[in-house]
């Protein structure tokens, strides 16, 4: 990890993000804030990767950082009027679960639909890369096409998806990180 290897970083993210998100959601009950916290923890981890000395286990460090961040978020709710209103609603918690869940499911289904509509060649490359986590090189070997072509096709698939998902203001962000799954 301290070598600054981005693959290791992505693997680390994949390993912990879910438990950290659940931990944050249990206390905050607001997906926006939870996303923000996970983002902060990992951004911080990446920035400090060269210098960070963790005396406890990495896991303990991550959950500790997460708790610290959760506390900060709750404190700042007090001063932020926008959140105050939300805070007052919190007792009816169950509603949030459903609403927040829907948010991700809608994104996922819009994405799925767009993927299905991709031209066959592009769809294949996209699925192999994003869902089966194959590297470009592996895809090139499997499909018997040059690596450069895989890159091109992937770029083109993402462009199409982005265009189709314009109504999701942040969808481009999701698509922007295709590279990390190489």
Which member of 8, 95, 104, 117 binds another protein (CB under 8 A)?
104
Q: Is residue 155 close enough to count as binding another protein by CB under 8 A?
A: yes
Q: Measured from the CB atom, is 38 or 139 closer to another protein?
A: 38
Q: Is residue 38 close enough to count as binding another protein by CB under 8 A?
A: yes
Instruction: Collect all residues with Cβ–Cβ distance below 8 Å to 74 and sequence separation of at least 6.
Output: 27, 28
Which member of 3, 85, 91, 116 binds another protein (CB under 8 A)?
91
Q: Is the separation of the CB atoms in 111 and 165 below 8 Å?
A: yes
Q: Number of C-alpha atoms within 13 angstroms, CB side, residue 151?
A: 4
Q: Is the separation of the CB atoms in 41 and 1 below 8 Å?
A: no
Which member of 11, 56, 60, 177 binds another protein (CB under 8 A)?
177
Q: Is the separation of the CB atoms in 34 and 98 below 8 Å?
A: no
Would you list the DSSP string of 57-102? -HHHHHHHHHHHHHHHHHHHHHH-HHHHHHHHHTTSTHHHHHHHHH
Q: Of 51-59, 135-143, 147-155, which part binds another protein (CB under 8 A)? A: 147-155
Q: Please give the residue ranges that form the binding site for another protein (CB under 8 A).
A: 4, 6, 10, 13-14, 17-18, 21-22, 25-27, 31, 34-36, 38-40, 42-43, 46-47, 67, 71, 74-75, 78, 87, 90-91, 97, 100-101, 104-105, 107-109, 111-112, 131, 145-146, 148-149, 151-153, 155-156, 158, 170, 173-180
């Amino acid at each position: 990890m301290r070598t600054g290897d981005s693959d290791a970083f992505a693997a680390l993210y994949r390993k912990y993000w879910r438990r950290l998100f659940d931990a944050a959601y249990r206390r905050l009950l607001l997906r926006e804030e939870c996303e923000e916290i996970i983002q902060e923890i990992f951004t911080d981890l990446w920035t400090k990767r060269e210098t960070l000395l963790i005396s406890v286990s990495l896991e303990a460090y991550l959950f500790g950082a997460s708790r610290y961040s959760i506390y900060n978020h709750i404190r700042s709710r007090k001063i932020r009027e926008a959140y105050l209103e939300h805070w007052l609603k919190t007792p009816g918690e169950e509603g949030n679960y459903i609403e927040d869940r829907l948010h991700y499911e809608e994104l996922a289904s819009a994405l799925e639909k767009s993927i299905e509509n991709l031209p066959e060649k592009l769809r294949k490359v996209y699925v192999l890369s994003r869902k089966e986590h194959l590297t470009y090189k592996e895809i090139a070997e499997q499909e018997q096409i040059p690596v450069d072509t895989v890159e091109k096709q992937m770029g083109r698939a993402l462009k199409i998806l982005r265009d189709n998902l314009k109504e999701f203001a942040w969808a481009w962000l999701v698509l922007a990180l295709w590279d990390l799954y190489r």
